[in-house]
Amino acid sequence: MSAKVHITIIGLGRIGTALGRALKHAASDQVYIVGHDKDPERARVAVREKAIDRGEWNLPRSVEGADLVILALPLSAIKETLTYIAEDLRPNAVVTDTAPLMVPPLRWAQDTLPQEVHFIPGHPIVRDVLPSSEVPSPDIFRDEFYCLGTTASAHPKAVKLLTDMLNLIGARPFFLQPEEHDALMAGVEQTPRVLALALLHAVTQSPGWRDMRKLAGVQFEAATYTTYTDAEGLVAELLSNREHVLSWLESMEKHLAHWRGLLEAGDEERLHEHVRVLLDAREQWLKAALAREWEEKGPQEKGFSFRHWLFGETFSRRWRERREK
């Protein structure tokens, strides 16, 4: 009986569970997945939903012998987790994460992990919004971009490993320098969150909030949505990318001043043109996002073996030794 590829998923929330389900759905006979979460109930649900083969409550023990470790954790939890698992990772293990920023996790990994362990930052772009009570589908990554951070020191075999994993689950690899990724994310993630907080601050501190709150509806709810329910995680994300966020806020100040000028001037024609162009731009973005159709879309690789995907030439000797036992 041949051995299976050993994968550990740390963090069994929405992304971790969906990744486990996607991998098991695509290659259940070739992978053995161990899951760890601080909440034992999440691990039980993950086993029941066939996202993992077993749960392991002991964090360092969960990564022992793992070929691939996926940290499906909030940004604020990654540094501490890397510290806990560093000594228990096997040589040539590949570690990745799913956080919305790449530079901080990469820096922590370089400071913490042994040289023979390869870290590649990752960030899945997931658009499906589900109630927290629902089990995420294994298809939420299909045709979606999954960012991988590439650097001059990135091990080619580790990059290839993760690229093939993404093809396996139907995702579309999007290669970016970590610094470039974080600069882009500041514009579409962190800055919108700061603007949401600023609006909340202005409105809830207004003397009229007592009555305004009774009138607030879908528009206010959408404009103040941050995806975070805890202050710790949101603050950690903002501070970790603050230079890029500050740059975007400077740009926003100029744009707000421009819009204020348009309103003060009362120029209906110019306002109409501005609004029309921007609404059209948003509509085009939404159409492309919902259809998963972007101009640069290319063919995905087909027909690879999961074992060959993971081991390739680098791990072929270890694979043969396993089979001979």
| pLDDT at position 81 | 98
For residue 241, is pLDDT > 80?
yes
Q: Tell me if the domain spanning 181-265 has CATH number 1.10.3660.10.
A: yes
- Give the percent of the chain with pLDDT over 70: 88
40, pLDDT greater than 90: yes
Q: What is the pLDDT of residues 163-220, one digit of tens each?
A: 989 999 999 999 999 999 999 999 999 999 999 999 999 999 999 999 999 999 999 9
In whole angstroms, what is the distance from residue 213 CA to residue 223 CA? 14
The CATH topology of domain 5-176+304-324 is: Rossmann fold (3.40.50)
**Spatial distance between the Cα atoms of 314 and 92, rounded to a whole number of angstroms:** 9
Rounded to the nearest integer, the mean pLDDT of the chain is 90
pTM > 0.85: yes
- Does 51 have pLDDT greater than 70? yes
Q: What local confidence, expressed as pLDDT, does residue 229 receive?
A: 85
Q: 3-state SS of 174-220?
A: EEECHHHHHHHHHHHHHHHHHHHHHHHHHHHCCCCHHHHHHHCCHHH
Whether residue 311 has pLDDT greater than 90: no
Arithmetic mean of pLDDT, 94-121 = 98
Which pLDDT tens digit goes with each residue over 247-304? 999 999 999 999 999 999 999 999 999 999 999 999 999 999 988 888 754 444 444 4
Residue 16 makes CB contacts below 8 A (sequence gap 6+) with: 9, 10, 35, 37, 46, 51, 70, 72, 98
